[in-house]
Structure 1
Amino acid sequence: MTTPPSATEPVALADHTTLRLGGPAARFVNATTAAELVEVVRAADAAREPLLVLGGGSNLVIADSGFDGAVVRIGTSGRRIDRLSDGRVQLTVEAGEDWDEVVAHTVANDLGGLECLSGIPGLVGATPVQNVGAYGVEITDVLVSVDLLDRESGQVRMVPAAELGLAYRTSVLKGKDNAVVLRARFALTDGGKSAPIAYAELARTLGVQVGDRAPVRDVRDTVLELRRGKGMVLDPVDNDTWSAGSFFTNPIIGEGDEVLSVLERASARAGGGPVTMPTYPAGEGRVKLSAAWLIERAGFHKGYSARDGRVSLSTKHTLALTNRGSASTEDLLALAAEVRDGVDAAFGVRLHPEPVLVGCAL
């Protein structure tokens, strides 16, 4: 097999990220089959060439200086539905498939399980890496296994979901480059009904109770409507969608004194009155806070801008940091640092970025 040709001229990585930021790649390869992808990665590793594996670019912040090495874009495609028994279905998808197109495909086939994850940009291969989640559903709820290329051994192996360390917006794969996802398998249900609705806002909009099931088509339509209202569905003419989605993860802290300290600071900032702060269970002795709530109450409103307006918080959602059309990665990180430090100063809570940072740091 011949190694896929690489670009002869530097390729602007800004053209391959949803933030539309990032400098050039020294070498760019588009791998359209799993075999090509494996070959490119093995060849780069053998030559000790720096390598960046690029999916949809929706959870990526790349330095203005770009990447001095090979960038391989995952352009693989292929889906298979296997109907098992008792209404169970296994969906197998290549890593380079567009995630939302896959979700739409399952809904069109009356399969339940992925509908709450509608509208999320990016490719299938990235979803287990960060345990993508939205509206009460996470990849860990439906993932069966992945096929990985182990870069240390050069071998391809199937890894059960239970071995991936899937947790809130993370996995054993996140932030590491020792493995590449080639394909993923998901456990779905037949019959046109969704997974139990777990997110209160979604249940309310659908007109059902939390825990009820609803038609998958209705759930998808409603999720897309909610996401559009927050600027979370890609639109080339809407700068509010020139983002990496939610830039900060919701912080997890100890319940009790740590929560009380945040509440006391919030009360002081509100003039001493009572404050109701949203919290969510996060395991024994831990609670999850709302990063958006903290950001807003630290003084950063929707549309808050920096660097002469080149970057801003989305006008629809304070968790999204956006490129207003002429920004640099340096501009974006300056705004991110301002928000992070402002929340820390106001509440003593440190926010952490959700996107992967390449060649840069916050």
Structure 2
Amino acid sequence: MLTLAFSAYDLTSIRFAYSPLREVAASVRALRAPAGRSLHLPWFERVRPRLGADVAPLLDLVPAGTCIPDFLCPIPTTPVPDLAAELSALRALPHEVIRGDLKRAAGRSGRPAGAARELYENPAPALERLARAVEAYWRLAIAPHWPRMRALLEGDLLYRTRRLAEEGPAGVFADLHPAMRWTDRRLRLQDQPEALSRTLTGEGLVLVPSVFVWPGLFHRTDSPGQPVITYPVRAVATLWERGTAPAPGALAAVIGRTRALLLGELDTPASTTDLARRTGLSTGNVSEQLTLLLTAGLVAKHRVGRSMLYVRTPRADALLGA
């Protein structure tokens, strides 16, 4: 079991952010070890046939059953970073940092192999090849699905930050992951086979939602450095669903089928574009109906990064429940 003890300051220094590059690494791990990840089977079937030699430097660096080098899982510096910025930071990493991360990922042997060995011995050209492989992989495997993934991730940020503001750390960790327990200013991760502990002294904690880490966790909590825990994003089971939920009949008769349909889709925060994609309605129509629902107090809107996300209000939940 891993235990993190929080100071009073650290309790105020919990932040949330997602990371496109971290999502790339988690998705490659999922491709390499699909057992127990049946939820992502539709994505596996679409992506595998499309991957070729241009992504080999990335695939070779994340084999199944081994640690992922830390430089492929950067600590997000903003809540909603983009891939270009993270790759720019990757290309600029000092070579000694790259070598140190590769040695730690290699484990007890300390001897990187395959693509990792090439990167260790000749970092400059190998790092550029890796960055280009990440870009190619993103275009093939992630970009076609990114708008919907991003909507889930940004919706999770909105939900978690609200929980933190209203209920504190206990509210955040209550439903973050079954392996987590929060008591007496201590966070316990029960999936850790070894008994490890760390007392935070002002470093804070970064919590990163992820599509592809499901059903497990990633965590980097060794000292020194800021601890980071990557957890499964909320509502990840809805990601690959096709079709839409039927409109509640009684509610549709009162407020109209389209508005009832949109309320039914807002189980999790979503953008206008995402709602249009999921319902088959035009973006203009969705925007018009959301404005009416907003005026009636049935939805609220929040800006997260570059996206405006809509969410049902308690009044709408009561209507749907009735």
Shorter-chain TM-score range: under 0.3
TM-score, structure 2 normalization: 0.27
Structure richer in helix, relative to its length: 2
